[in-house]
Amino acid sequence: MISQRLLDGLFSASVSASGDGLRDFLKAHGSNMRSTPSAFERLVAVAVQADDRVKAAAAGHQAAIRRLFPDTPDTAIAAFCVSEDEGPKPSKIFTTLSRVDEDNNNGCIVNGRKRWGSMSPIADILYVAASTGFKDGRNQLRMVAVPADHSGVSIDTSAYGAYQGHMPIADLHFDQVQLSSRAIIAEDAYETFIKPFRLVEDVYNTAGTQIGLFRLGRLYDWDAEILEDLLGLICQAHSIAQTDMNMPHDVLLMSSYFRASSRLWEQIGDNWSRVPEALRTRWSPDVGTLGVAARAREARRQNAWVALA
């Protein structure tokens, strides 16, 4: 069910876009959210204030993390750090998590490297996938909440200088990072966090962009049909967010949503001419990234049908 609060947030007459940098934007609009009942409603409250596509998508990225890590502090910016030199495959995660005085559960040490840490250059908290060793041929993984400014953590953005107009990205190095045992998240990292994250992030990022576009379209008097379609897609994403988002039938719902979302970009057409050019440029879709996402989505769709058969 779509809450009245969510719709009121989308149609708020008092909304005005922020001109702040990404970190300041997320900090300013992520505060005072304790009464927000869901990660999706938080997404609406933040993304409707975005003045460019990156901010809107970043609001989705942060909401996706909070769906999986609901104890993330209200004002914190978080990064999800899984990939290494050979990607995010569980068997290829070599960052280590070792116990200190394991008998008394007194703490842990993280060592290793991560690549492609989206949002990590401006993050307060790094959710890091680390291995406690192999058992029965399977890499035993846990997520660890690491303060980004902790001793032994270094962040290197040099490999990503060409990625302009994206959420900030960095490689990370963890050198004898000693933490309290409370930093370890007990659940199996792959099944609980890594496996569903890409699906959750995909929906929330896309919805964040659509929420921002809905505000933009209302400000610049887009055709009513486009605004109605955007509203429908946002509500469809909200409905998807009520599912587990990791079952085959959930994936089919997402497939329909993403196809409709791709079509809508094409249908905006002449409405873009009503937006000032400088602002229009900040909202243009990231075609390269969308192409990669489309291939992953198609693979997920085919796998879902196979599973249901």
Round to whole Å and give the CA distance between 137 and 34. 42
Burial of 53 per CB tally in 10 Å (0-12, 13-18, 19+): buried
Q: What is the pLDDT of residues 198-254, one digit of tens each?
A: 999 999 999 999 999 999 999 999 999 999 999 999 999 999 999 999 899 999 999
Round to whole Å and give the CA distance between 123 and 107. 23
Mean pLDDT of 35-50: 85
pLDDT over 70 (residue 34)? no
Q: What pLDDT does 100 receive?
A: 80
Q: Where are the domains of the chain?
A: 4-68+192-308, 78-189
Q: What pLDDT does 18 receive?
A: 57
pLDDT over 70 (residue 33)? no
Round to whole Å and give the CA distance between 9 and 45. 6
Q: What pLDDT does 17 receive?
A: 53
Fold classified for 78-189: Butyryl-CoA Dehydrogenase, subunit A; domain 2 (2.40.110)
Round to whole Å and give the CA distance between 309 and 301. 13
Q: What is the pLDDT of residues 93-110, one digit of tens each?
A: 999 999 886 555 579 999
Radius of gyration in angstroms for the set of CA atoms belonging to the chain, rounded to a whole number? 20
Identify the three-state secondary structure at position 15: coil
pTM as predicted: 0.92
Q: What is the pLDDT of residues 106-138, one digit of tens each?
A: 799 999 999 999 999 999 999 999 999 999 999
Identify the three-state secondary structure at position 26: helix
